[in-house]
A and B are shown apart, each in its own frame.
Chain A
Amino acid sequence: MKRKYTKKQRQIIKKYHNLGIMLFAGVMLLGAFVGLLFFARPKTSEKEKRSLAKYPSFTMKTFLNGEYFSDVSTWYSDTYPFRDALVSADQKLKGLYGIESKTMMVGEEKQADEIPDVDDSTEAGTTEAATNATTEDNTGDSTEAGASTETTTEKVREVDPPDSKGMDEEIQNQIQQNLYVKGDAAYSVYYFGKDNCTNYVAALNNVAAELKGQTTVYNILVPNNSGVMLSEDELKKLAGSDQEQAIDYYYSIESDDVKTVDTIKTLREHNDEYLYFRTDHHWTQLAAYYVYQNFCKVKGIEAHDLSYYDKKEFKNFLGTFYSTLGNSNMEANPDTVTAYVPKGTNDMTFWDTDGKEWNWNVIYDVDSWASSSKYMTFIGGDRPMEIIENPQIKDGSSCVVLKESYGNCFVPFLVDHYQTVYVLDYRYTTVNVLDFVKEKQADDLIIINNITIIGSTSVVDLISGLLK
């Protein structure tokens, strides 16, 4: 079909087409210009909690195989000016793709191992764990690469921290494997893994035997939010593993040298309270308080009342689940971080991954920080080492806490019970933990972990390496 236009119409079409070209060229030139504003290129993204790509350094090899240019491409788009604003705009658009239903499952299902029965396997489990502990010694372990060959136990062996980025990514996958979203809250589904369980317990049994008579080893396994906050019926629908059963099994195959602290039973009794964030994968400090009470019972000391502490509140917290899901219900109803300041002191020191020393606060005022960063209020976040000295206590008591980020809000409660609290994050620490505990002659070694995270093989390998 041949269309015929009047001469005037042809001119109009031509005019608008030319305008279209100019508009397009204008946007292109603007984009090119903004791209050249090197000073405006962001180095980090608050929104994504990560450093953005760096401009690659030139080598002949990466130049010839194209890696250099491909990294330049990545750098160019990753650090494009106004990144966070552009990303937000894109997410708004993606929100139009469909319907955000009230209940959702985001992620993939995973095959979980069957959790063995506690009563039947207590004996077998322990032996198995013990056997594992001995064979473990022969396996090459990356964390030992930097260990000194000196056999004197007085000296603390140094270790190379692992590639923490890779480790964090694995932890991330572990936690976000499969998320159940209900209204303004997300819950992470737990999958039990038998080998990781056996190896983890073996490492703890091993270190408890090694430290017997000098240091008491405590194991605190914290459930994740689905196991505590969801009803039995909902949990059944999720098709993951039962966390209470799993924690019972972990505890049951431990040797008597490791003291266990109940978590999930107590927390479930209180699950009408604000125990977990809805927009973040961490627990609240209130939940940590109940576990602290249990810890005191096991240790045989008296726990302080919650009213004993000064309370601080940081509103408008949108955590990791929100970053991943961009859920609008969460955005409309952010979390609040409530923090309890220890009585003895609020001062502490930490060392960052570059070895730099920082004077900090146990509960730091994060009111003005980004809404994604509020959990950072606790003990300066995840650091290779943190030390808190309580000037009110002069009995020389000390403990070492080996933890990941779940431990951060638990540590403040320990401050009023020890003269010195040493905190090591196993992902970043540069010291062998066994040596460190011996050197400091700590009374207690408290190993506190989220149950999902120790389901990661590389985390278990790492912890095993640090504990021997």
Chain B
Amino acid sequence: MVFSSLLFVFLFLTANLIVYFKCGEKNQNKVMLIFSLVFYAWGGPKYLVLLVGETFVSWFTAKKMAEDREQYGDDVPVKKYLVIECVVLLGLLGIFKYLGFILGNVHALTGFPKSVPQIVLPIGISFYTFQLISYVVDVYWGKTKAQPEFWKLLLYSSLFHQCIAGPIVRYQTVADEIDNRKIKMSDVYTGVRMFSLGLAKKAILANSCAAAADSLLPAGVESLKMQATCGMWLGMIFYMLQIYLDFSAYSDMAIGMGRMIGFHYDKNFNYPYIAGSVQDFWRRWHISLSTFFRDYVYIPLGGNRVSTGKWVRNMAVVWFLTGLWHGASWNYIFWGLWYLFFLLLEKFVIKDRMPKAVGHIYTLIVVLFGWVIFKFESLKELGVVFGGMFGIGANGFTNMNVHTVFLKYIFFLIFAIVACTPLYNNVRKKLFDIGRENDTVFMAANVLDMITPALMLVLSTLALVGASYNPFLYFQF
């Protein structure tokens, strides 16, 4: 089930909230667990075994660590449990996500094995694997206590807010709130607002960007070759907007739903497209993933407190893994290495010498071409678009089809770009600021706050119904 579907909003979430607020504090965790398991099972009940199994291994290894330490003191070696955890979880991730890719490459090189198995990627495995590993490692490091009850750890790993599309919430962030959370009306409001804005961001903005990007960058080498240079640029700009609006909308919805019931998840995106450098971009983009690699890979490898050579190695490892995490295909690895290149360039060559304005433009261009690499798993298509954007092999500079799309979306495009900046939030804050002294502005700000969630929900509903609009030439009754 996806958040941006009518079934989720009007059936699942509505039922979840009604039951949650009616069932009494004692049962709330159980309610969330049951709903989460149903939610996960919606994508194919058989993978529920995997989620429950991995959670069990994590719960068991962490519990063992805690017991050993309690029995024999803190110095007792418990690394074996950590090893078991990592082998099992990363092993399963490897099998389900990367085995097909690895065998495909081996097959291409050696012709063996004869047929490459098609393994279906279980929903959310990349996210919950990382969440569970972070939990066991944190217990190992003594940063957090082991959860004594299995079902509560399962609640953490399967919680439908973040289980299938992030953010990667650390166990320590919510450890306390699993047992003690207070529902404050201000939290509920903030949650409702974040959720509804996220839903609108996805259903209206991201989906429309996707429609425009798909029409400009149709699948297949032959179709792409028929596109003009301007069409490719416009298509990639729409894709760049789509991917941020889509992904951050999911995080907003997750964080919002958490807030409604008293969970405080950390921010996952902080307006990445206003970044002044590539390094800055990665502090703002998918923060929960970058901090995961920072805390569990980069720093254990020595971080930056090592020789330059080793530091470059550490960076290379992190960026190779970041690329690989996004998908089992070479283009994602190239995408990670693309960023490695620019991060090293900033560190050793550019340093702080770039003027601010230039920095922003440079960052956007690096990110845009990064998305070109990211978008096309087929290296042939990637080649066509990369070349075409520089006029090589494209079907002319521009044409009427591109103008039509551009004009058709011109106001939308401006709006979508503004939606990637903090403008709305700043204006809202400003209104409340002025409102302290000015009653009219104060009322306006309050009314705006009051209608925003309901209005966003109505508009999103229209967009979600409209999304399945599929007219036929001939009657298909």
With contacts A19-B450, A73-B7 known, is A48 near B472, CB below 8 A? yes
How many angstroms from the CA of A395 to the CA of B399 in the assembled complex? 58
Residue of A nearest to B13 (CB): A28
Sampled A-B contacts (23; CB under 8 Å):
A5-B436, A14-B186, A20-B452, A20-B453, A23-B450, A23-B454, A28-B9, A48-B469, A50-B476, A51-B476, A66-B45, A69-B42, A70-B43, A73-B1, A77-B465, A80-B465, A86-B466, A91-B469, A93-B463, A99-B408, A99-B411, A106-B401, A165-B476
- Residues of the A chain whose Cβ atoms lie less than 8 Å from the Cβ of B449: 13, 16-17, 20
* Cα A27 to Cα B340 with chains together (Å): 47
> Contact at A17–B7, with CB atoms within 8 Å?
no
Docked CA distance A32–B454 (Å) = 14
Q: Are A17 and B45 in touch, CB under 8 angstroms?
A: no
Given A17-B186, A66-B45, A171-B473: A178 touches B401 (CB 8 Å cut-off):
yes
* Option from A90, A105, A178, A320 in Cβ contact (under 8 Å) with B465: A90
Contact in complex: B9, A31 (CB < 8 Å): yes
> In chain B, what residue has the closest Cβ to A15?
B446
With both chains docked as a complex, state the minimum distance between the C-beta of B334 and any C-beta of chain A, in angstroms: 27
Q: For residue A93, which residues in chain B have a CB less than 8 angstroms away from its CB?
A: 459, 462-463
Confirm or deny: B110 has a beta carbon within 8 angstroms of a beta carbon on chain A.
no
Write the chain B residue with the least CB distance to A6. Answer: B436
Beyond A35-B6, A64-B46, A105-B399, whether A24 also contacts B475 by CB under 8 A is no
State whether the Cβ of A49 lies closer than 8 Å to any Cβ in chain B: yes
A387 in the interface (beta carbon within 8 A): no
Contact with A along B244-281 (1 / 0, CB 8 A): 00000000000000000000000000000000000000
Q: How far is the CB of B271 from chain A (nearest CB, A)?
A: 18
Q: Are A382 and B408 in contact (CB under 8 A)?
A: no
- What is the CA–CA distance of A172 and B461 in the complex, to the nearest angstrom? 28
Q: Are B401 and A108 in contact (CB under 8 A)?
A: yes
| B72 within 8 Å of A (CB atoms) | no
Asked if A146 is at the interface of the complex by the 8 Å CB criterion, the answer is no
- B residues 396-412 near A (Cβ < 8 Å) are 399-401, 403-404, 406-412
Instruction: Determine whether the beta carbon of A77 is less than 8 Å from that of B472.
Output: no
Nearest CB of B to A198, in Å: 20
Shortest distance from the beta carbon of B202 to any chain A beta carbon, whole Å: 14
- Residue B302 interfacial (CB < 8 Å): no
Report how far A5 CA is from B218 CA in the complex, Å: 53
A16/B447 in contact, CB under 8 A: yes
Residues of A within 8 A of B41 (CB): 69
Q: Which chain A residues border B290 with CB–CB below 8 Å?
A: none
* B454 touching A26, Cβ below 8 Å: yes
| Nearest chain B residue, comparing its CB with the CB of A100 | B408
Q: Are B476 and A49 in contact (CB under 8 A)?
A: yes
- Interface segment out of the listed B62-70, B158-166, B187-195, B293-301: B187-195
Q: Looking at chain A's contact residues, is the secondary structure mostly helix, strand, loop, or mixed?
A: helix
The residue that B395 contacts in the complex, of A78, A101, A109, A373, with Cβ under 8 A, is A109
Q: Which 6 A-B pairs have the closest CB atoms?
A: A90-B466, A66-B44, A323-B471, A97-B412, A105-B400, A23-B454
| Complex Cα gap A69–B401 (Å) | 38
Whose C-beta in chain A lies nearest to the C-beta of B120? A65
User: A9 to nearest B CB, angstroms?
Assistant: 7
Q: Which residue of A lies closest to B411 (CB)?
A: A98
Q: How many residues of A contact B (CB 8 A)?
A: 87
Q: Which of A19, A66, A105, A111: most chain B Cβ within 10 A?
A: A66
- B141: Cβ under 8 A from any A Cβ: no
A20-B450, A20-B451, A50-B477 known; A4-B412 Cβ under 8 A: no
Q: Which residues of B contact A111 (CB under 8 A)?
A: 222, 225-226
Residue in chain B with minimal CB distance to A108: B218
A168 touches B476 (CB 8 A): yes
Q: Does A47 contact B (CB under 8 A)?
A: yes
The answer, among A20, A44, A86, A320, for a CB contact under 8 Å with B454, is A20
| Closest-CB distance, A140 to chain B (whole angstroms) | 24
Interface presence of B464 (CB below 8 A):
yes
Determine whether A381 belongs to the interface, using a CB cutoff of 8 Å to chain B: yes
Interface-central residue, A17, A72, A86, by most chain B CB under 10 Å: A17
Q: A243 contacts the other chain (Cβ, under 8 Å)? A: no
Q: In the complex, what residues of B have CB within 8 A of residue A40's CB?
A: none
Contacts of B472 in A (CB 8 A): 48-50, 168-169, 172, 323
Query: Quick one: closest B residue to A165, CB to CB?
Result: B476
For the complex, what is the distance from the CA of A180 to the CA of B474, rounded to whole Å? 21
Task: Write out the residue numbers on chain B whose beta carbons fall within 8 Å of the beta carbon of A405.
Answer: 474
B411–A104 contact, CB under 8 A? no
A83 vs B469: C-alpha distance when bound (angstroms) = 9
6 further A-B pairs in the complex, CB-CB below 8 A; given A19-B450, A237-B400? A16-B447, A31-B6, A48-B470, A109-B399, A169-B472, A320-B473
Q: Which of A69-117 contact B (CB under 8 A)?
A: 69-70, 72-74, 76-78, 80, 83, 86-87, 89-91, 93-94, 96-101, 103-111
Q: How far is the CB of A177 from chain B (nearest CB, A)?
A: 10
Min CB gap B378→A, angstroms: 18
